[in-house]
Amino acid sequence: MYIPHGVIPAVLLPFFDDFSIDESSYRAHLRDVSSTPGISAITTNAHASEVASCTFEEQTRVLDITMDEVGSKTPIVCGVYTEGSLEAQRIAKMATAHGASALLVFPPAIYSFGQRPEMAVEHFKRIADATDLPLILFQYPLAGGQGYPTSTLLRILDEVPSVRAIKDWSANPQLHERQIRLLQSRTPVVNVLTTHSSWLMSSIVLGCNGLLSGSGSVIAPLQASLFEALQAKDLVKAQALNERIFQMTEVFYTEPWVDMHNRMKEALVLLGKLPRAVVRPPLMKISEAEISRIKNALIKAQLLKSD
């Protein structure tokens, strides 16, 4: 069984001007990201691919394209993004039948009104009942109500053994380290995959067994090289790579955060890897001034030559 670990980029989803899926550009994007040495899997139907604006049928089609294009050479993680547990089961069954290797389970937004531990456990149990695939729990910041308190998180892991990793976006370095220590010392191990992309080097140094990030759609080679350097304890190389990564995360992960993947699309257009940076409403195209800042960051990161 595939156990989520290592460097896992989350890919973007290109659209035409009429907001329909640009399948040809998506295939090219998949080929580009999957060719990165050192990655261990690819994630689709997640935040980076604007899953919130995709129908169930579109999510199915996106997974099918992903499997057809790169599924034979790399494991595919499929997102389970929905409000209800019954729909989560339907998505889990679909992803299992269509060849995914693992599922990334997003917390229902209804938790922002409050959650009880038994609610969270039941949600994961229902998904686990629908699939034998390993599950990745997406750990949100606790302040918004969608994150799982440590006691709830441990209860989920105890009662749903198919949860084999978490994508940690706790946004709290102390909690992040605690989760690494608690989860990666379990038997069997539950890997912590960081998604703290704006402080990635610091996060990996704490001992994460991997990373899962939408910025991997643009800078997967830098992420893979950084992870490898830190695994080898080559601090000098890691610091040099981190300097380049910092240039990009400074423009990707700035307020409003809702535009993070929008900005990544613009970066790929500037790099000649996407024909356009269309996003589905309510997302909107960013300003020319912001696009200019992204271009300057690409130059500083040595990803784009100066004019």
Rg (alpha carbons) of the chain, rounded to whole number: 18
Residue pLDDT, tens place only, 8-20? 999 999 999 999 9
pTM (predicted TM-score): 0.97
**Are 259 and 26 contacting, i.e. CB atoms less than 8 angstroms apart?**
no
Residue pLDDT, tens place only, 12-48? 999 999 999 999 999 999 999 999 999 999 999 999 9
Residue 205 has pLDDT above 80, yes or no: yes
Band of residue 1 on the pLDDT scale cut at 50, 70, 90: confident
Residue pLDDT, tens place only, 58-73? 999 999 999 999 999 9
pLDDT value of position 99: 98
Domains and CATH numbers, the chain: 6-231 (3.20.20.70)
Nearest to 106 by CA among 180, 175, 15, 195: 195
pLDDT value of position 191: 98
- 282 burial (CB, 10 Å; 0-12 / 13-18 / 19+) is exposed
- Kindly state the DSSP code that residue 9 receives in the 8-state scheme: E
Taking every pair of Cα atoms in the chain, the longest distance, rounded to a whole number of angstroms, is 57
- Kindly state the DSSP code that residue 23 receives in the 8-state scheme: H
Residue pLDDT, tens place only, 163-193? 999 999 999 999 999 999 999 999 999 999 9
| Residue ranges in the chain assigned as alpha helix (H) | 23-34, 56-70, 85-97, 117-130, 150-159, 173-183, 200-205, 216-231, 235-252, 260-270, 288-300
pLDDT, average across residues 81-104:
98
- 26 burial (CB, 10 Å; 0-12 / 13-18 / 19+) is buried
Residue 307 has pLDDT above 90, yes or no: no
- 143 burial (CB, 10 Å; 0-12 / 13-18 / 19+) is exposed
- At position 260, the amino acid (one-letter code) is M
pLDDT, average across residues 210-233:
98
Who's near 65: CB < 8 A, 6+ residues apart? 23, 26, 27, 30
pLDDT value of position 52: 96
Residue 265 has pLDDT above 80, yes or no: yes
Strand-pairing partners, residue 9, are 213
d(CA 60, CA 42): 16
pLDDT, average across residues 213-231:
98
